[in-house]
Structure 1
Amino acid sequence: MTTKPKKQWLAIAAVLIVTLVLGAFIVSGKKSSSGGDEHGHQEAEAGEAHKDDDKHAEAEKPAKGPHGGKLLKSGDYAVEVTIFETGVEPQFRLYTYLGGKPIDPAQSQIQLSLLRLGQPPQAFTFRKEKDYLLGDAVVEEPHSFEVKVAATYAGKTHELGYEQVEARIAMSDDQLKSAGVELGVAGPAKIGTTLRLLGEVKYNSDRTVQMVPRLAGLVEQVLVSAGDTVRKGQVMAILSSQVLADQRAELLAAQQRLSLARTTYEREKKLWEEKITAEQDMLSARSAMQEAAIAAQSAQSKSASLGGDAASGGLTRYELRSPIDGVVTEKRISLGEAVKEDSAVFTVSDLSSVWVEAPVSSQDLGGLAVGQPTQVRANAFEATATSKVTYISALVGEQTRSAMVRTTLPNPKGLWRPGLPVTVEVLLEEKEVPVAVSAQAVQDLRDWKVVFGRYGESLEARPLELGRSDGRMVEVKGGLKAGDRYAATNSFVVKAELGKAGASHDH
């Protein structure tokens, strides 16, 4: 009796323990489930909060106002900022609202500051004009800036603002380097006024010789060809000339007569000294000797002028020699040809210097003067040289109404060949300007002439007012100040990148 109830109590206790354990596990599971629901709810709330942040970020971008401008809000108060440029220079026009309805703009006192990259702030004041407030200055291009507005209405000041970007692109220094874009600094430069002329390289006539034989003859040998370089005294051709033979025979006869007259004189002088003959005989012999000497000298000079040297060959052999160092530019002689004494058989030119001649119209003559610096550029290949104006013709052509200007170029390497077309730039005057940029930096963008200014990691188009240019540098009258950095080389790469970025004209 006693054992059985004890076993029953043990069984009941075991059931209760299992029940308690299962109950605790169930309760723990419910709490875990409840905790999971709470975490999910928090994630949902966080997601909603993130959506609210996105909406808030979108709300920060100014909405579009009734007049198409930027609508800046502060509570119920709002200012619409527009840039109006229809028929006028770009100008700020401001419209004011309260509770979404237009109000009299005169009730608001507004100051606007415009901040551009690399420039000091520009302040605008406003006056009432019809239903808007009109700015007191032109809004210069590009319209890329930050706008800050301080609007006071009903005794309360509202700080508003926005930023818009135009004609601006971000490019790091490494990107610029890989694109070959080098930066320059705007500053003072000397810029010349030049006159550009089309000209031609010509022989230096002061160093060019037309060779003629000076006597008729038959060509026996031609020793040079066109293009050959010759030295002074070099034999270029050999002729056979009967005229020269006659002259040489006359010279030999004159020399023989002189020798005979000298011998006769010496004999008569000795006889006179020994008082064998009269003085008159000695004087007559001396006179005859002097006449023979004169005749021999005359024959010698005539033979030498013709190039006659009997020792160089037969009496008929005539050697045509170059009178200067130079190049045979023309050859008009051939073997076996009979040439006349006035035939130009060779042209020899010293090409170590050449002339460049260019026609200049009569209206441009007033600014030209001998001694002005010139730059000559070949049209057929890359070559330039500098010189000075050496000659300006005194006459103007009756038909062309132009004169001729000449410059002399050193030509030690023979690069400047006669007949080569060239461009001649004459520096008429040179002036120093306070601000200038490289001419190759200037690009066309819309209807502007621009350079791309460097500001931090950005490049932004700067419309310029340009002045004089010499092709290398160009004067900047407005749009850039001394010390500003800009893309000086390969600026077209920046323009292309700007086009890819799709820069817009934002108002």
Structure 2
Amino acid sequence: MSQTNLDIPSSNPSTSSPPSSRSGLQRVISWILGSIGPIAILLSFAAIFAFGHYTDWTMPKFAALMGQPAPVTADWCEEHSVPESICVECNESLMEKTPDFGWCSVHGVHNCVIEHPELAQLAEQPTISPEDKARADLAMTMPVSRENNSGCTTYLRRIQFASVDAVAQAGVDVELVERRRIEQTVSGSAEILYDPTRTASFASRTAGSVWRVEKNVGDSVEAGDVLALVEAEQVGALKTNLIRALAEQSLQRQNVERLHIAKDAVAGVRLLEADAAQAKAEADVLSIVQSLENLGLSVDLQSIAQLSEREAFEQLRFLGIFSALRTQVQTATVTANLLPIRSSIAGVVVERNVTQGEVVDTHRPLFQVTDTRQMWLMLDIPLEDLEHVQPGQKIRFRGDGIGHQISGQVDWISTAADAQTRLVKVRAVLPNPDGRLRDKTYGTGTIVLREDPNAIAIPSEAVHWEGCCRTVFVRDKHYFDSPESPKVFHVRSVRLGATDKGYTEVVAGLLPGEVVATTGSDVLRAQLLKNGLGAGCCVDE
């Protein structure tokens, strides 16, 4: 019988490991071995970035790889943004600074070229004429001429470019300082109105009803033309009373004449009574005539006195109605109560507020007639702009929806300002021979305070405000002498005047022929502000 050998596992714990512990260790080892590659890649990238950071991402030259690298010399001025080897601010021997004459109390600028024309960036020193000095003196009296701060120091600065190409790449353009026509003006809202001295409203002088209307809106009238006829009972009564008074006056006159012929046979008392009665009759006639005159009806007493009562009545019936109109109304049954409403001026009927048959009184305007050959322009000017406005100055008006410009002259300046708006009324008289101007036309009025045909002016975009002074950038006169000439712009403080059509008058600080930076000059201003950070542009005086 054979015996089978069986392998019995050992019970000694030191000779065997739990399966779970062995599998955990294997996982750790596998993770470490698997992470070596990614970690090596990350370390490689970190080394590359570190190398690029310290070498400014420049590859070493072949000579440096094969041997000793050549020394690198830094040639860049960070402060002034040009190579340090040509920086005129860091090395003033490269370009001598202009003399500093400081503040000019006469013209309110620094390094005034009017007082010191040798400072101008021109090939030859200019001569300042007496006319230019007088022009500057006048312009400085105007309200828009504002001075700079005398403590400003930016005028001492210079802005340099590395080359002409650098200027072009920065988008900086230049323009020549020239003489131009400049107007200094003040403006305000304006309105065209009928001239009230040539406008009249007409109403009936007594109560009545409208018998006939003769004129309509838009009709032209002459002085004395009848606008309408009003039937008024008072008019008829006055005419009748006048006929009676004239008859009484005639009777009393005949009585006095008869008594005076027989005065020897008549008592003196009767003569006195007759004279008194005649005087009373004459007074009654004059009283009635005056009442008719008050209604606008003139009576020719001498002519009427020679007529019979019927003839006199017929003449009085058409009293005040002119012959041309009398022919038109005679065909109808005409009352003696007609009162004509006549225009006292020549012009155009602009309002009619009545129709035939209406009852009217003395308080209601029926017609308005205006002479439109002359109109008023009323402007509202701010009180602070009124100092230099004077009668006789030119005014230009452009109304809303009007394609053309209208000119006039200042005729009157109000002595009071509006309590709410602080605006002052200014009036101009506008000729209107063709009738193109319209009442209640609104627009903008401009008063020309000063006109200078030879003012020194530059594009408005060339001027910059630095917080305490107004400056421009003037190109150096040696800019194009040679390629190596420093490409420099000088900071120049200027005193400004009026602005007109995109150009600004320079009262002081520039001379004709100099060249200033215009389009893109903000680049120079940015460099100026960058260099002045922390220092400010002004110092205490």
Partners of 1:401 and 1:298 in 2: CA distance: 54
Question: Equivalent of 1:384, from 406, 411, 436?
Answer: 406
Q: Return the offset for 1:279.
A: 3.5
Q: 1:480 to 1:264 in 2, by over 3 A?
A: same
DSSP-derived class of the 2:262 partner: helix
- Identify the residue that residue 500 of structure 2 maps to in structure 1: 471
> Structure 1 counterpart of 2:339, which letter?
Y
- Identify the residue that residue 404 of structure 1 maps to in structure 2: 425
Q: 1:445 to 1:370 in 2, by over 3 A?
A: closer
Number of aligned residue pairs = 344
Question: Equivalent of 2:123, from 117, 120, 124?
Answer: 120
- Identify the residue that residue 237 of structure 2 maps to in structure 1: 246
- Identify the residue that residue 371 of structure 1 maps to in structure 2: 391
- Identify the residue that residue 237 of structure 1 maps to in structure 2: 228
Q: Return the offset for 1:370.
A: 5.6
Question: Equivalent of 2:276, from 287, 294, 306?
Answer: 287
- Identify the residue that residue 198 of structure 1 maps to in structure 2: 189
Matches within 5 A, 1:124-135: none
Partners of 1:452 and 1:245 in 2: CA distance: 90
Q: 1:191 to 1:144 in 2, by over 3 A?
A: farther
- Identify the residue that residue 459 of structure 2 maps to in structure 1: 442
Partners of 1:196 and 1:252 in 2: CA distance: 65
- Deviations along 1:288-344, whole A, 9 cap, x unmatched? 222211211111121122133533464111211101111211110112211112211
Greater relative CO (CA pairs within 8 A, separation 6+): 2
Matches within 5 A, 1:44-193: 94-95=84-85, 110-111=94-95, 119-120=122-123, 138-140=157-159, 165=168, 186-187=178-179, 191-192=183-184
Partners of 2:506 and 2:82 in 1: CA distance: 27
Q: Return the offset for 1:357.
A: 2.2
- Identify the residue that residue 481 of structure 1 maps to in structure 2: 511
In the superposition, the TM-score normalised over structure 2's length comes to: 0.52
Partners of 2:378 and 2:499 in 1: CA distance: 22
> Structure 2 counterpart of 1:280, which letter?
V
> Structure 2 counterpart of 1:187, which letter?
R
Q: 1:341 to 1:414 in 2, by over 3 A?
A: same
Instruction: Check the 8 A contact 1:236/1:321 in 2, yes or no.
Output: yes
DSSP-derived class of the 1:213 partner: coil
- Identify the residue that residue 211 of structure 1 maps to in structure 2: 202
Partners of 1:229 and 1:452 in 2: CA distance: 65
DSSP-derived class of the 1:358 partner: strand
Partners of 1:400 and 1:363 in 2: CA distance: 12
DSSP-derived class of the 2:425 partner: strand
- Identify the residue that residue 298 of structure 1 maps to in structure 2: 287
Instruction: Check the 8 A contact 1:187/1:481 in 2, yes or no.
Output: no
Instruction: Check the 8 A contact 1:462/1:479 in 2, yes or no.
Output: no
Q: 1:426 to 1:109 in 2, by over 3 A?
A: closer
> Structure 2 counterpart of 1:442, which letter?
P
- Identify the residue that residue 370 of structure 2 maps to in structure 1: 349
Instruction: Check the 8 A contact 1:215/1:342 in 2, yes or no.
Output: no
DSSP-derived class of the 1:421 partner: strand
Instruction: Check the 8 A contact 1:370/1:388 in 2, yes or no.
Output: yes
> Structure 2 counterpart of 1:120, which letter?
A
Q: 1:379 to 1:281 in 2, by over 3 A?
A: same
Question: Equivalent of 2:445, from 424, 427, 433?
Answer: 424
Q: 1:485 to 1:203 in 2, by over 3 A?
A: farther
- Deviations along 1:175-215, whole A, 9 cap, x unmatched? xxxxxxxx9982386753x3321021122222211111011
- Deviations along 1:403-450, whole A, 9 cap, x unmatched? 43333323222232210013223355x48698423xxx8364898999
Instruction: Check the 8 A contact 2:227/2:342 in 1, yes or no.
Output: yes
Question: Equivalent of 2:266, from 277, 284, 287?
Answer: 277
- Deviations along 1:194-242, whole A, 9 cap, x unmatched? 3321021122222211111011122122121112221100011112111
> Structure 1 counterpart of 2:179, which letter?
G
Q: Return the offset for 1:264.
A: 1.5
Q: 1:417 to 1:110 in 2, by over 3 A?
A: closer
Instruction: Check the 8 A contact 2:455/2:505 in 1, yes or no.
Output: yes
- Unmatched 5+ residue regions in structure 1? 1-65, 67-77, 97-104, 123-135, 147-161, 171-182, 456-460, 487-493, 499-504
- Unmatched 5+ residue regions in structure 2? 1-55, 57-71, 99-120, 126-154, 298-315, 322-333, 466-470, 478-488, 521-525, 528-541
Q: Return the offset for 1:266.
A: 1.8
Instruction: Check the 8 A contact 1:91/1:139 in 2, yes or no.
Output: no
> Structure 1 counterpart of 2:226, which letter?
V
Partners of 1:300 and 1:358 in 2: CA distance: 48
In the superposition, the TM-score normalised over structure 1's length comes to: 0.55
Identity of aligned residues (%): 20
**2:377 matches 1:336:** no
Q: C-alpha root-mean-square deviation of aligned residues, in Å?
A: 4.9
- Deviations along 1:140-178, whole A, 9 cap, x unmatched? 58x6987xxxxxxxxxxxxxxx996576899xxxxxxxx
> Structure 2 counterpart of 1:420, which letter?
T
Task: Judging by fraction of residues, say which structure has more strand.
Answer: 1
> Structure 2 counterpart of 1:379, which letter?
G
Q: 1:293 to 1:444 in 2, by over 3 A?
A: same
Q: Return the offset for 1:358.
A: 3.1
Q: 1:276 to 1:451 in 2, by over 3 A?
A: farther
